[in-house]
Amino acid sequence: MNNVPFTLSQVRPIRDAMTVSRPSGLGYGVPVTWFSLGAGTSITPEYYDCTTLYLGGEGNGRFLLGVDGQEVSVKPGEVLYVPPKTLCGTKTDSGMIYTEIILKKENFTMNNIIKAGQPIELKDLISYEAGSIANLDIAHADNMKFILMAFDEGTGLTPHRAPGNAILTALEGKAIIGYEGKDYELNAGESFRFDKNGLHSVTAQGKFKMSLLLVIE
């Protein structure tokens, strides 16, 4: 994960009969944790006093929501929004990996196209715009931003620096990620981390969609 493309199964592989969590290290103000669950395992429902986002990574599983334990399937590439003080657990028959993002700030904005308890495919939320780069905020506060971007063919971001640590994930297509003078090919399902003030660029190879999680501290 040291500034090269990676998959979640590389940084947090599934282990038989185990549930394992690994902090991403993006920042303390917005805890971002990778979870892997072995086949037939589960995590007992609990709740946070703040909003949580769950991003389906690899494999398939179900989230158990509310006091009645409503089962909600979350697939790779989907996002699930869980409001504060909502019981939430997980279980899987075949194994799964997901990302948990805890929004500790009281003052943040959540896009109203994201409905609580209803998983939705991230790449379907944003459209390509002819000759353009489209942006869609999913959630943002003064210490974080989670956005989607759609690059039409022939577009890209020139080298620039960001004010925090970030992870971008390719949702559709592929792109060349430039980072501190080196180029890396990023394909759908792969992620790339860059550090605060790291010089980076994005050049779409055809049409390309990605998510970007930025933590500012």
**What are 130-168's pLDDT values in tens digits?**
999 999 999 999 999 999 999 999 999 999 999 999 999
- pLDDT of residue 58 exceeding 90, the answer is yes
Other CB atoms within 10 Å distance of the CB of residue 30: 26
Instruction: Note whether 120 and 78 are within 8 A (CB).
Output: yes
Higher pLDDT, 105 or 205: 205
- pLDDT of residue 53 exceeding 70, the answer is yes
Question: Can you give the pLDDT at residue 105?
Answer: 80
| pTM score, whole prediction | 0.95
Q: How large is the average pLDDT for residues 18-23? A: 98
Residue 93's identity, in one-letter code, is D
Kindly give the residue spans of alpha helices, DSSP state H, lying in the chain.
Answer: 8-11
- Each residue's pLDDT tens digit, 80-123: 999 999 999 999 999 999 999 999 887 889 999 999 999 999 99
- pLDDT of residue 73 exceeding 80, the answer is yes
Q: For residue 182, give every residue at least 6 positions away whose Cβ sits within 8 Å of its Cβ, in sequence order, or none.
A: none
What CA–CA distances, in Å, run from 64 to 46, 52, 73? 10, 14, 9
Tell me the pLDDT band of 1, cut-offs 50, 70 and 90.
low
Percent of the chain with pLDDT over 70: 99
